[in-house]
Amino acid sequence: MDFKWIPNALTIARCAFAGLVIWGIWNAELSGVAAGAVTPDMPPEDLLRHTVMQQLWYQFALLGFLSGALTDFLDGYLARKLKAQSRFGVWLDPIADKLLVGAALLGLAMVLKTWLIYLPAAAIIGRDVFMTWLRTTPAGKAVVDPSNLAKWKTGFEMAAIIGLMLPLAFAPADMAADASGATPLVFVIGSYMLVGLLWVAAALSLITGWRYIRATRR
């Protein structure tokens, strides 16, 4: 039986998982205070129901992202194992990666609402959109520019995104606060470290993008 279709199917699935990530975060936001679903005079049982639903939607989004990341590993591994490399897979694979990361970054920006997320997210997404276009041009198609920096960039992106999504999925706001209502120092330090990773990923995105542009001019 021919299983060479599986790598491309996994790549297409990653595009679908990107949609599930943004859908999960959108529904989580609709269940919260900002959307008016939660009000101060709401009965405790209704408040608990909305809190649980919001957390479940965040868990859904996190599961979608982790599943998409897993397909990123599996499609490449199986393509080599089954000798099933195809032009379609080579074209779609980087697009699926960028859709998954872009969906997660847009979702985090929607939730966290701070320029500390807006700026690196915009840099990464803007760079990815530009690079996708550049690779369709004759000059871009001719460039082969493997780089360890790109692998580091991907690693920092994944670590930052997963780290920022985990508290949304598993640590409700009332659990992340002490008796006085203040956020413990460990949560604050951890959050800034994860945001720092995202900024490093954004910087590496711009650097690798510039290197690719220079390579097209040689």
Element containing residue 40 per DSSP (H, E): none
Q: How far apart are the first and last CA of the chain?
A: 45
Q: Which residue from 183, 156, 9 is spatially nearest to 17, judged by alpha carbons?
A: 9
pLDDT for 127-156, tens place per residue?
Answer: 999 988 888 877 666 666 656 788 889 899
Domain residue extents for the chain: 6-216
In Å, how far are 55, 61, 76, 99, 132 from 12, measured between CA atoms? 27, 18, 13, 11, 17
CA pair distance 87, 77, nearest whole angstrom: 16
CA pair distance 194, 75, nearest whole angstrom: 28
Q: If you classify domain 6-216 with CATH, what class do you get?
A: mainly alpha
Stated pTM of the model: 0.86
pLDDT for 170-189, tens place per residue?
Answer: 875 544 444 445 566 677 78
Joined together, the tokens standing for residue 26 give: 């959108």
